[in-house]
Structure 1
Amino acid sequence: MYDDEDDDRTFVVVRNDEEQYSIWPQGRDLPPGWVDVGVAGPKTVCLGHIREVWTDLRPKSVRRLAAPAGREPHVE
């Protein structure tokens, strides 16, 4: 389909209720359960943002189960 080097599309960074991140082509309807987090640009920019903010890849529900009693896990 698209070769990353030839991909000049603009993407948006999206996040779901489990605080998992992905990218989505700008202008396309988002899939159910995903929201635009306000970052858009080339694929490399969007993936770079995700690498910076998504430091704990466990879903939110798993992080909550693993958190010590009475403490919420760190959430971006």
Structure 2
Amino acid sequence: MTNPFDDPDKNYTVLVNAAGEHSLWLSGIPVPGGWDVVHGPRGRVSCLDYISENWRDLRPNPAARRAA
């Protein structure tokens, strides 16, 4: 069985939560609570490029850590 998130021919979106964490998400699947679409729908490479360019620090942002 293949992972649908590895399919380069599907459209994806990039999600971000309040902690600033990013997620690659298949277009057409409902967005989970607490996450917002910030890029897409686009191809997989475009979405991965967006994540690479916009999520520099993989740790949650300090404001989100204080609020938790």
TM-score range, shorter chain: 0.7 to 0.9
Match in the other structure for 1:18: 19
Q: Which has the larger radius of gyration?
A: 1
Q: TM-score, normalised by structure 1?
A: 0.68
Q: Once superposed, what is the RMSD of the aligned Cα atoms? A: 2.5
Change (3 A) 1:33 1:52: same
How many residue pairs get matched?
A: 65
Runs of 4+ in 1 over 2 A off after TM superposition: 2-7, 61-65
> Which ranges in structure 1 are unaligned for 5 or more consecutive residues?
66-76
Higher relative contact order (CA 8 A, sep 6+): 2
Matches within 5 A, 1:1-76: 1-2=2-3, 6-61=7-62
Identity percentage of aligned residues: 32
> Which ranges in structure 2 are unaligned for 5 or more consecutive residues?
none
